[in-house]
Structure 1
Amino acid sequence: MAGDLPSGAQLPSIPTLVTQYGAATATIQRALAALKDEGYLHSHVGKGVYVRDREPLVVTATAYVPPSEGRFAYEILEVTEIEPPAEVSHSLGLASGEPALLRHRLLRYRSEPVELSWSYYPAAIVRHTELARPQRIRGGAPRVLAEIGHPQQRHVDRVSARMPTTEELERLDLPANVPVLRQFRVVHSPDRPVEATVMVKGAHLHELRYDREADGVDGR
C-alpha cells in the first residue's frame, strides 16, 4: 500500500524471505497465502509471486456517493420501519420507541461488493417520501431531504475497526481474518439530525480521504 513494492514487482523466493525475516517456511507460505486472498499478490506458475496492479480504493468521505456507469452501483437489500439501535436513536434525537426508516444497501464497485450500509431516517419526516420505497433514488437522500425542507448541512463521522459479522463476511466476500472499517455518520440539517448511517467496508481494500480546512489545534 505504501508503494515500496510497485505493481508488477516480483517477490523474492521463499528461501530468501525465510532468511530475510528469520521465519519458518510455513509462516512465510501462510503470509503469502493471506496476501493473495486479500488481493495484494498473484502467482504465475513456474515464474514466481508478483504484486498485483491494485491500488487501494480511496473513498472521499462525502455524504453521498453517486452511482456511475461501470463503477459504483447500489443494490437495495431492505427498506423498512424499525425501532433503531440505541446509538442511532440517540443520534437522531428520537424518543424512546419512536421508529426510524431503515434503508439497507450493498455498494458495488465495478461489480465487486465493497460496502454494506444501514441508513436510518426519522420515520415521521420521511414516511411518505421516495426514501420509504424499495428502489434507487435519483440524487439520493440529499435531494429528497432538501425537497422536504431538511437540506443536509454537515455530517460527523466516527471511524473504528473491528472483525466482521457473519453477514458482512459473506455479503462483502471478505478473506478470513480481515477486519472491517466501520463508519458511523450523522447528517445534520440546519434544524435537526436527519440521517444516521453505519457503513462497513473491508479494511484491506479502502482508504478514507478527509479534506478540510484547518480549524485550530487543541493540543491533544
Structure 2
Amino acid sequence: MAGFQWSGTLEPDAKLPTEAELRDQYDVSRETVRKSLALLMNEGLVVSARPQGHFVRRRRPMVFRPQAEFRKRPYSPEMDAFTTEYAAEGREPRQEIEVAIVEPPEEVAKRLRLEPGELVAARKRVRYLDGEPFNINDSYFPLALVRDSEIMRPEDIARGANQVLAELGYRQERALDELYVRMPIPEQVHRLGLGPGTPVGIHVVTGHTAKGKPVRVAATVLPGDRHVISYERQREFKARARRGRAPPQ
C-alpha cells in the first residue's frame, strides 16, 4: 500500500480504519487495501472479526524453556507443571489430552530404537492459554514400559510423566534436544488454528536412562507468532580446576 507504514501507534485490540477509509486515506484501490490487510494478518499483526472489522492483535507470547524440564518444582497435587507455571503468571492455562496405543511414526521408532511391530503409548496434548491454542506437546513411550501406568490415562499427571517413568525404574538422566523450524503440516494447522504463513518451531527431546536406554520422545510444536524459546547456558570450569588452574575472573 503506497505510503502505508506500520508504526505501532495503534494499541492492542484497536480497530483499524475501514477498507473505504483506507482507500480514501492512501488513494489506492480496493484490491490493494485487501492485499495489504491480508499481509498484515499473515504476519500475525492483525486479526479479522467480521462484520466488526480488523483489529490489532494482542500478543502476549509464551516463554518456552526446554532446560526447565528436569528441574524440581513445588507443583500442587491438582496441577501439573504447565498449569502451575502459567496460572502463577495470571493467565488461564488448560490442556486437551488424548491417549492412544499406536504404531510409532518412523522418526519416533528410530529415536526409541524400537523393533519392527513394537507399539508406543502416545499422549497427545494441545495446550491453551487464555482460551487460545498455544502449542502441541505429543509424547511417545514404549508400550512395554508404561502399559499399566498413569501415562495411559487421558488426564493431567501432577507430578509429571517423567516422574512416573522414574517410579517404573526408568529415570531419565540425559536428554537430547533437537530444534527444527519449518512450515506446519495440515494436522498442526488444524489443531492450533494457525493462520496462513505462520511458521512453527519444533522441539524434539529424547530422554535416556543412565544406561543409555531411550524411554521417551516428546515433540512440542511452537507457533512462531506465540512463543519465545529461551535457553540458558553456564560455562563449566571443573576440568580446569582439576588441573590446578583457576577459572578466569
Structure 1, 205-214 or 120-129: larger mean CA deviation: 205-214
Unaligned runs of 5+ in 1: 44-48
CA–CA distance in 2 between the matches of 1:186 and 1:28? 47
Deviation of 1:51 (Å)? 5.8
Residue 103 of structure 1 aligns to a residue whose secondary structure is strand
The structure where strand makes up a greater share of residues is 1
Residue 197 of structure 1 aligns to a residue whose secondary structure is strand
Change (3 A) 1:6 1:145: farther
Deviation of 1:209 (Å)? 0.9
Deviation of 1:161 (Å)? 2.2
Any conservation in 1 of the 2:198–2:223 contact (CA below 8 Å)? yes
Unaligned runs of 5+ in 2: 1-6, 49-53, 71-80, 238-249
For the pair shown, the structure with the greater C-alpha radius of gyration is: 2
Change (3 A) 1:105 1:93: same
Change (3 A) 1:134 1:35: same
Partner of 1:177: 197
Change (3 A) 1:163 1:147: same
Deviation of 1:156 (Å)? 1.9
Any conservation in 1 of the 2:202–2:220 contact (CA below 8 Å)? yes
Partner of 2:83: 67
Tell me if 1:8 matches 2:11: yes
Deviation of 1:40 (Å)? 2.5
Q: Deviations over 1:175-207 (max 9, x none)?
A: 112122222221222122211012212112112
Partner of 1:152: 172
Q: State the identity as a percent.
A: 32
Change (3 A) 1:57 1:100: same
Q: Deviations over 1:79-123 (max 9, x none)?
A: 122220121111112122211111111111122111122210011
Task: Show the 5 A alignment for 1:21-100.
Answer: 30-36=35-41, 39-41=44-46, 52-61=57-66, 62-63=68-69, 65-68=81-84, 69=87, 70-77=91-98, 79-100=99-120
Question: How many residues end up aligned between the 2 structures?
Answer: 206
Any conservation in 1 of the 2:61–2:228 contact (CA below 8 Å)? yes
Deviation of 1:37 (Å)? 5.8
Residue 66 of structure 1 aligns to a residue whose secondary structure is helix
Tell me if 1:136 matches 2:156: yes
CA–CA distance in 2 between the matches of 1:33 and 1:146? 49
